[in-house]
Structure formats: structure tokens, C-alpha cells
Amino acid sequence: MKISKIKEILTADTLAGEERIDTEVICACGSDLMSDVLAGEAKEEFVLLTGLVNPQVIRTAEMVDMRAIVFVRGKTPTPEVLELAEEKGIVVLSTKCPLYIASGLLYTNGLRGAGSVETAL
């Protein structure tokens, strides 16, 4: 799914990385715990949905080469955080949707999590 499609589904605003909005992602993960993100399967073709807006979210995305971050529940990071995202080439979106609804909307539109549901269970 293109990041632009995610933006459309979640009626999101682009806060950083506008020029990369047509990049494809194959999976998503939703978490406020960065250690869980680092411990998981998240990698370059991923988008992260999170309610955390501190610089460590961008750093975490950087470490696993994540393409995009969606800040949920209308949260807006500081200009320094967005600057860091631009520097690292990460697309940042912001949606008013809460985490669960945003995840559900993307999932029902075909954007799955890492691995199969069977593995996750």
C-alpha cells in the first residue's frame, strides 16, 4: 500500500517527508512501546502507528529503516522531532483516529501486520 493511500484512509496530514508519499509499505505495526517495535519484525517496508511523539520514535524508525510513522489521536510532535524525521528521510503523518481504529481501518483495507495471523496466535 502506498503511504499516500494510508493518508487518504486515515484522513491524515503530512508533517514530514511529503516527497516520499508515494513509497510502498507492505506491513504495519502499532505500539507505544519502542522496545516492542525493536523486538518485532518491523523493517524497511513498514509503517509504525503510535501515540508517542518524542524523538525516540524517529530514532527507533531509523534503526529499523522504517519508511513512515503515523501519529494517532491528532498528536503533533515538536518541530525538532519533524526536523529529525526529514533528516532521516521518514514520512510522518498525523491522524485524528485513535490507535485501535486507525489500525482497524488500515487492516480492513488490506494492510496487514508482520507474519501470518496463525503465527501471531
Partner 1 sequence: MKLHYEVDGEEFAAAGQASGNIKKMLKQLGIASDVIRKISIAVYEAEINMVIHADGGTVDVDIQTDKIYIALKDTGPGIPNIDLAMREGYSTASDEVRDLGFGAGMGLPNIQKNSDFLKITSAVGVGTTVEIEVNL
- Residues in touch with partner 1 (CB under 8 A): 32-36, 38-39, 43, 50, 52, 54-57, 59-60, 62-65, 80, 88
When the beta carbons of 18 and 32 are compared against partner 1, the nearer one is 32
When the beta carbons of 52 and 111 are compared against partner 1, the nearer one is 52
Q: Going by DSSP bridges, is the β-strand pair 46-50/68-71 parallel, antiparallel, or unpaired?
A: parallel
- Helix (H) / strand (E) element for 91: namely strand 91-94
- Considering the complex, what minimum distance in angstroms separates the CB of residue 39 from partner 1? 5
Question: In degrees to the nearest 10, what's the CA dihedral of 112, 49, 104, 14?
Answer: -100
